[in-house]
Amino acid sequence: MAKNSKKNKNKANGQAKSKAPETAQPAATEVVEKPESLSVDQPEPVQVPDHEQSTENNNTNEKVSEPTQGGSNGEATSQAEDTTKLLFLENKLKDLEAQLAARNNEVEVFKTKSLEQEAALQSLQETHKKEISQLESKIAESTTENSKHSEDNNSDEKYTQQINELKAKLEAAVKDKENSDQQYQNLLGRVSTIKATLGERLKTDAAELVRNKEIIKSLEEEKKSMSTSLETLRKELISSNQENENLSKELSAVRMEYQSSIENWDSKHDSLVKENRMMQEESEKASNLVKSLEVSLSEEKALRVNLESKKTDLEEQIKTQINYAEQYRRERDEVKSEKTKLAEQVETLSKYNADKTEALSLEIKTLQEELEKNKEKLEQSVAQVAELQKSNANIPELEKEVKEKNLQLGKLRHEAVTLNEHLTRALRMIQKNSQGDTVDKQLVTNMLLSFLSLPRADTKRFEVLNLISNYLGWSDDQNIQAGLSRSGATPGKSPLSPRTRSEESSGGFMSMFADFLERESSKSGK
């Protein structure tokens, strides 16, 4: 009986020794790589209560001190030792069951969260596909609309640049989608590996429970045999105490491994949470890019509408210019009819010339001042046009203003040409009205005084000298001597042409002078 009990005791100790590394093995395999961008709740570490650790330490101390007591208390101490050992194993079994239940809960939570993440990724992929299809359709519409407006070269270049930018953004979105698909496939592979490792872990935990139950049954049987073989067990107490110390050391090592695995799990969990945040930020950036593309498309549509309105405005302006040309033809016919009348009124004009020279000089000065003002305004408008061309912020408004300024400049040029024609006609009429080679002394003196009073850098000197040459009928040689024309210039070219000087500056002065001559001629006719 003693030998059999001794064999059973050694067998139980061997099972306990084999159990310690087996419990350490699942703890070591607990560190499993989690999938990126999946947030899994942190598993709560199953710790042994402090009172159980204290009872365990007390039990080991009692076991070490028991061989030193007397033989009379040997039986009581051995029974107490067996009961404490059974209680410790039962507590350990309860802890293992609690750990298994916690792991089952963790597996269920992980499954639910993985399913939620898969659904979210699928929805994101569907939204990305829809948005990309919408962008492609919008780009196709924009290309078809741009082909219709091929007449405007500048706007076409801008639209092609915008379309290229949109295409580049679309390619970037497609690349982001492909990267997200690859990450999704990697996540699915890692989820499958995690499921496989968790299933194996559950199987090992169930096997451990079965082993622990078998150990408890064997220990109960050993308790019955120990009651009959107390003397033999006393001799084996020293060896069993040593084995218990080894088991306690192994248990502490297992606990350290378990805590280290939990810490690794926590660090990996934090890294996965950060990666999940990065994925969310990237998805938000992609949505912002889609919104910006939609805004740019809406702006492109608005630009097209503005271009169409500008086109209609230009057509209307062309019509008005045609009407102006017809009116000018009518006025030209009327001027021809008035020439005949003015020829009859030449005799009356000579009488009024002496009285009106002073008024002419005063009006010439006022006209010169207004000419200076008009020149400053034109220079300001030209500077504004240059600044508006440089600015890129409000392009459509600036283009409208530039076109309005160009229209004004065109009108001013047209008016300058017409006024130059009226002025030459009026001067010819004055020359015809003058008797032979006689001229109005007061008029010539006023023009000479105004020419001499102006500084050399002023462009009005050239205009006044042109008036004097036209009024006095200078020849080409005389114009060359006065500096109005060069020796290589064409003889038929008039010095009063608006191309010789600034069209805007000459336009205002010439118009005023021509109006004055027409008023004087009309008064003399009456």
CA 54 remoteness from chain centre: 63
Same domain, 260 and 307: yes
What whole-number distance in Å separates Cα of residue 482 and Cα of residue 472?
A: 13
Taking the C-alpha atoms of residue 104 and residue 264, their distance in angstroms, rounded to an integer, is: 20
Question: Is 41 domain-assigned?
Answer: no
- Does residue 497 fall inside a structural domain? no
**256 and 308: one domain?**
yes
Q: Is 148 inside any structural domain?
A: no
Give the total residue count for the chain. Answer: 526
Task: Spell out a b/e string for 150-187, using b for 16 or more CB atoms within 10 Å of the CB, else e.
Answer: eeeeebeeebeebeeebeebbeebeebbeebeebbeeb
pTM above 0.85, yes or no: no
Question: Where do we find the tokens 């395999």?
Answer: 29
Quote the crossing angle between the two packed helices 460-472 and 441-453, to the nearest 10°. 160
- The CA distance from 234 to 73, in Å, is 11
Instruction: Say yes or no: 196 and 275 in one domain.
Output: yes
Same domain membership, residue 378 and residue 233: no
Q: Is 130 part of any domain?
A: yes
Q: Are residues 306 and 409 in the same domain?
A: no
Asked whether residue 419 is assigned to any structural domain, the reply reads yes
Sign of CA dihedral 265, 271, 275, 281: positive
Read off the tokens for 444: 């010539």
Number of domains in the chain: 4
Instruction: Output the CA–CA distances (angstroms, integers) from residue 486 to 3, 167, 404, 451, in the order listed.
Output: 143, 59, 37, 20
Question: Is 170 contained in some domain?
Answer: yes
Q: How many CA atoms lie within 13 A of 290 on its CB side?
A: 20
Looking at the structure, do residues 388 and 476 belong to the same domain, yes or no? no
Residues 280 and 313 in one domain: yes
**Does some domain include residue 520?**
no
**Structure tokens that stand for 9 in this block:** 């005791």
- The answer to whether residues 275 and 372 belong to one domain is no
Boundary residue ending a domain (318, 333, 356): 318
Q: What is the DSSP string of 231-280?
A: HHHHHHHHHHHHHHHHHHHHHHHHHHHHHHHHHHHHHHHHHHHHHHHHHH
Residue 413 main-chain phi, psi, to 5 deg: -65, -45
372 in the same domain as 276: no
Residues 285, 406, single domain; the answer is no
Query: What is the span of the domain harbouring residue 390?
Result: 365-394
Q: Quick one: pLDDT at residue 165?
A: 81
Count CB neighbours of 56 within 10 A: 19
Instruction: Supply 291's token pair.
Output: 């919104």
pLDDT value at position 111? 72
Q: Exposed, middle or buried, 486 (CB in 10 Å: 0-12/13-18/19+)? A: exposed
Quick one: tokens of 262?
Answer: 């939990």
Task: Specify whether 291 is located in the same domain as 388.
Answer: no
Look at residue 249 and tell me if it is in a domain. Answer: yes
**Cα radius of gyration rounded to whole Å, the chain:** 54
Does residue 259 sit in the same domain as residue 197?
A: yes
Q: Please say whether the beta carbons of 198 and 64 come within 8 A.
A: no
Instruction: Give the residue ranges of the chain where pLDDT is below 70.
Output: 1-76, 78, 121, 125, 128, 135, 138-139, 142-156, 159, 226-227, 233, 339-340, 342-361, 385, 388-395, 398, 416, 419-420, 422-424, 426-440, 442, 486-526
| In contact, 156 and 150? CB cutoff 8 Å | yes
Task: Write down which residue in 318, 339, 354 finishes a domain.
Answer: 318
pLDDT at 22: 42
DSSP SS3 for 435: coil
